[in-house]
Amino acid sequence: MRDRLILLPGWGLGVSPLEPLAAALQGLDEHLRVEIEPLPELESSDLNEWLDELDASVPDNAWLGGWSLGGMLASELAARRGERCCGLLTLASNPCFVAHAEWASAMPGETFDGFLAGCNADPRATLKRFSLLCAQGAEDPRGLSRLLSGGAPHTSGAVLMAGLELLAQLDTRHALQAFRGPQLHLFAGLDGLVPAEAAGELLALLPDVEIGLIEQASHAFLLEDPHGVAGAIQAFLHESGDD
């Protein structure tokens, strides 16, 4: 089903940040079916449990994509499916969200630990802080942050914690190297959560895939410029479909 794209959202903010992008993509190509698949609501941070849930609910033989945590999960699912996945695209999605010795271009561990502690104490306040960081670097960060937090679903604290714990341990480098289909990874130059340098690190790891950096943009660039992002994705899908 080369005409079907499944998008997975990021942590905590639900499907609404992806809706303008899905609409823009549909507007560019009436034959493309774009669906947003909510993340599993699990109280476990076991990656295989998350992938089992997604594997059961996401159609086979489609393009897989995602924003932030959704992109990391799409990468792992693409590697698991292999030839049963048409291709992969990620938006502001770091192979490792938390920095470690082998991947420096990521959030410092102590910053992330503060997030975990904050989420444990006050999930709502942590989501608000998270939406502010998502909007950092945007032309109208406050307006974008309000848009993000306003559309967030009322997820339980246990599910939010499990998602953060999963985010901390995910390392998609092997999955990205193992997946042989076409790949597009877009990063933002002013991202407050994923350093722009991650784009260069990923290019060194995967020299044969398409990697783009949108210079003046925030982590939530898909909401800042859904039509521009849709154009880049549509060009990638069209080019890859002609192979």
Q: Any idea which residues carry the catalytic annotation?
A: 68, 191, 219
Both tokens assigned to 117: 């502690």
Which amino acid is located at 204 in the chain? A
d(CA 68, CA 63): 17
Both tokens assigned to 103: 């991947």
- From the list 78, 11, 22, the residue with the least C-alpha distance to 223 is 22
* Residues 204 and 88 sit within 8 Å (Cβ to Cβ): no
| Residue 105 C-alpha from the chain's centroid | 16
- From the list 80, 81, 65, the residue with the least C-alpha distance to 25 is 65
The residues facing 184 across adjacent strands are 89, 210
Q: How many CB atoms lie under 10 A from the CB of residue 38?
A: 12
Which amino acid is located at 105 in the chain? S
